[in-house]
A = this chain, B = another copy of it.
Amino acid sequence: MNDRVDDERGATLASMASVLADATRATFLVALLDGRAWTATELARHAGVAPSTATAHLHRLRNSGLITEVRQGRHRYVRLADPATADLVESLVSAAPDVAEPVRSLSASTRRRALAFARTCYDHLAGTLGVAVTDAMTARGFLTWENGLAVTDDGAHWLTTLDPQGWPPGRGRAPVRPCLDWTERRSHLAGAAGALVCRYAIDAGWVARRPRTRAVTLTATGRHALREHLGLAESVLRPKASA
């Protein structure tokens, strides 16, 4: 009567999902979406739990293969295991039905606005800026959405001018992928192409990372460059005054 094969898959699915099903572990993973390595204590403080609790969670995340760790002296640095894991986390977040959340405080509002304008999402750009770049690349004919998202020949050429080594990407990773933007409710560019653009934008000083947050700052250089490369109007490159 029982279908053993399917039972195995069901049990597998459940055990995998149960790792993600805890609010504290989920907070860890979302924090790690910035692609950087965090220490155990940082994550514990970020999630508001005791160090001992964080230890147990990290133990479980590591055993499930979702994170990797590096020991350095008395520090334990952890990262997401790979881009596929980041994709999984993202897809679970965006699978949830949308609910509008009221903003709770002024400083939270400021922080939210900074994040909404420009941030990194694992390894690519997100927020208003991420969507604007994606739109501009589409308008320039670098991307096509005809049969799903794809890079055009012109687009491949442009990516090559940014990073001759970086395109086309190696196998094992989606070259291009839409990622649903949680603030804009629209898709921005992810996958290897999104990572390439983001890497270049940071290296070339178009945007600057800020400490302790995924928000990034668009520099004057960046504004100019985006206008040159993609014809992006200055008007869309200013954070909006109100949420």
Contact = CB atoms under 8 A, between A and B. Distances in A.
Contact of A112 (B5, B92, B145): B5
Interface string A83-117: 01101110111011100010011001001100100
Interface in A1-51: 1-31, 45-48
Interface string A131-163: 000000000000001111011000000000000
Interface string A199-220: 0000000000000011000000
B95 A85 contact: yes
Nearest to A104: B4
Contacts of A24: 10
Contact of A13 (B15, B26, B101): B26
Contact of A11 (B17, B26, B146): B26
Interface in A175-210: 175-176, 182, 191
Which of the four size classes fits the interface of chain A?
A: 35 or more
A65 interface: yes
A74 interface: no
Contacts of A55: none
A171 interface: yes
Residue among A2, A21, A89 having the largest count of chain B Cβ atoms under 10 Å: A21
Nearest to A22: B14
A5 B108 contact: yes
A151 to B, nearest CB: 8
B10 A29 contact: yes
A64 interface: yes
Residue among A23, A29, A150, A213 having the largest count of chain B Cβ atoms under 10 Å: A23
A15 B7 CA distance: 23
Given A2-B48, A18-B18, A20-B21, 5 more contacts: A6-B31, A7-B27, A10-B26, A14-B21, A17-B18
